[in-house]
Amino acid sequence: MPSTDKPKGYAGKILRVDLSKGTVTDEYPDNDTLRKYVGGTSLGAKYLYEEVPAGVEWDDPENRMMFFSGPLGGTKVGGTGIFSIITKGPATNMAGTSQANGFFGAYMKFSGYDGIIVQGRAKEWSYIHLHDGKAEIKNAEHLVGKNTWETEDAIKEGIDRKSSVYCIGPGGENLVRFANIVGDHGHVAAHNGIGAVMGSKKLKAIVAERVPGSIEVHDPDRLWELSKAIYDIALKAMPTLGENGTLDGYPILHRIGQLPVKNYLTNIFPEYEKFGPDHVRTVFNTTRTTCWACRFNHCRETEVTEGPYKGYKGEEPEYEGMAAMSSLIWQTDPGAAVMLGDMTDKLGIDVNESGYMLAWIMECYDRGLMKKEDLDGIEMKWGDPEAALAILKKITYREGCGKIFAEGVMRSAEKFGGEAQKCAIYTKKGATPRGHDHRGRWMEMIDTCLSNTATIEIGPGMPAIKELGHEPPKDPFDPIEVSTLNAKVSGRRVFEDSLVICFLTSQDFKLEVEALNAATGFDYTIEEALEVGKRAVNLLRMFNVRHGLKKEMEAPSERYGSVPVDGPNAGKSIMPHWENLRNNYYNLVGWDPETCKPLPDTLKKVGLEDLVPDLDRI
Q: What is the pLDDT of residues 425-438, one digit of tens each?
A: 999 999 999 999 99
Given a cut of 70, whether residue 360 has pLDDT beyond it is yes
CB neighbours of residue 452 within 10 Å? 26
Domain-located, residue 144: yes
One domain, residues 455 and 585: yes
Q: Rounded distance, CA 256 to CA 249, Å?
A: 11
Instruction: Give the pLDDT of residue 464.
Output: 58
Q: Which of 332, 297, 279, 340 is nearest to 315 (CA)?
A: 340
One domain, residues 378 and 519: no
Three-state DSSP class for residue 117: strand
When pLDDT is averaged across residues 568-573 and rounded to a whole number, the result is 98
Q: Rounded distance, CA 325 to CA 356, Å?
A: 9
Instruction: Give the pLDDT of residue 3.
Output: 43
Q: Rounded distance, CA 504 to CA 99, Å?
A: 13
Q: How confident is the model at residue 1 (pLDDT cuts 50, 70, 90)?
A: very low
Sheet architecture: strand order including 14-18: 23-27, 14-18, 115-119, 65-68, 83-88, 95-100
Give helix 148-156 / helix 334-347 axis angle, nearest 10°. Answer: 60
Q: Rounded distance, CA 441 to CA 476, Å?
A: 8
Q: Rounded distance, CA 168 to CA 172, Å?
A: 5
Sorted by sequence, the CB contacts under 8 Å of residue 153 that are 6+ apart come out as none
Domain-located, residue 552: yes
Given a cut of 90, whether residue 84 has pLDDT beyond it is yes
Instruction: Give the pLDDT of residue 408.
Output: 98
Give tens-digit pLDDT for 207-239.
999 999 889 999 999 999 999 999 999 999 899
Instruction: Give the pLDDT of residue 567.
Output: 97
3 state SS for 17-57: EECCCCEEEEECCCHHHHHHHCCHHHHHHHHHHHHCCCCCC
Give tens-digit pLDDT for 283-325.
999 999 999 999 999 999 999 999 999 999 999 999 999 999 9
Instruction: Give the pLDDT of residue 572.
Output: 97
Number of domains in the chain: 3
Q: What is the mean pLDDT of the chain?
A: 96
Sorted by sequence, the CB contacts under 8 Å of residue 136 that are 6+ apart come out as 24, 128, 129
Domain-located, residue 408: yes
Q: How confident is the model at residue 355 (pLDDT cuts 50, 70, 90)?
A: very high
Give tens-digit pLDDT for 438-489.
999 999 999 999 999 999 999 755 555 777 888 888 999 999 999 999 999 9
Question: How many whole angstroms from its chain centre is CA 373?
Answer: 35
One domain, residues 489 and 604: yes
Question: How many whole angstroms from its chain centre is CA 512?
Answer: 21
- In the 8-state DSSP scheme, what is residue 167? E
Amino acid (1-letter code) at residue 557: S
One domain, residues 418 and 447: no
Q: Rounded distance, CA 491 to CA 532, Å?
A: 7
Percent of residues, the chain, with pLDDT higher than 90: 94
- Asked if 76 and 219 touch (Cβ cutoff 8 Å), the reply is no
Alpha-helical (H) ranges within 398-508 are: 402-405, 409-416, 418-422, 442-450, 479-488, 492-499
Q: Rounded distance, CA 381 to CA 387, Å?
A: 8
Percent of residues, the chain, with pLDDT higher than 70: 98
Amino acid (1-letter code) at residue 18: D
Q: What CATH number does residue 527 fall under?
A: 1.10.599.10
One domain, residues 56 and 160: yes
User: In which domain, by residue range, is 85 found?
Assistant: 14-209
Domain-located, residue 52: yes
Instruction: Give the pLDDT of residue 423.
Output: 98
One domain, residues 416 and 360: yes
Picking from 422, 448, 465, the residue at the C-terminal end of a domain is 422
When pLDDT is averaged across residues 334-346 and rounded to a whole number, the result is 98
- 99 beta partners: 84
One domain, residues 361 and 445: no
Give tens-digit pLDDT for 157-167.
989 899 999 99
